[in-house]
Amino acid sequence: MGWILNPLTFGDYPDTMKRNVGSRLPSFTEKESNLMKSSIDFLGINFYNSLYVKNYPPESKNMEDRDYMQDMAVELITRLIENDTSIDEVLDSLKNGYGNFPIYIHEN
């Protein structure tokens, strides 16, 4: 979420993204950064469910569980978690992290 919203609200990519991607990530000029800051008018989202994942470090013995996308057709069905509060958590996270711009929920 931050790799899209951070430039539109703060004028730059998240620090974690800059560290992980390094020189492969394009940088913004000061003018570009200033043009992007607070340029978001609204956000439209499609929200269906939440998936909770846990990172297993490389030395973990649970490597077979490390990537749930490896066999998405099987794993996704068994790992869907429907939770009435999930969308509330997403909306709170957006408001707390990026401000109080209008959000339109297109699909839920």
Question: Contact 38/9 with Cβ under 8 angstroms?
Answer: yes
Torsion angle of the four alpha carbons 22, 64, 75, 70, in this order, in degrees rounded to the nearest 10: 50
Q: What is the pTM of this model?
A: 0.67
Give the pLDDT confidence of 41-97 residue by residue, as tens digits. Answer: 999 999 887 766 566 566 666 555 555 555 444 344 445 555 567 888 889 999 999
**Upper half-sphere CA count for residue 98 (Cβ side, 13 Å):** 28
Please calculate the CA angle 9-15-20 and round it to the nearest 5 degrees.
130
Per-residue confidence (pLDDT) for residue 82, from 0 to 100? 59
Please calculate the CA angle 25-67-7 and round it to the nearest 5 degrees.
25
Six-digit token string for 21? 């991607």
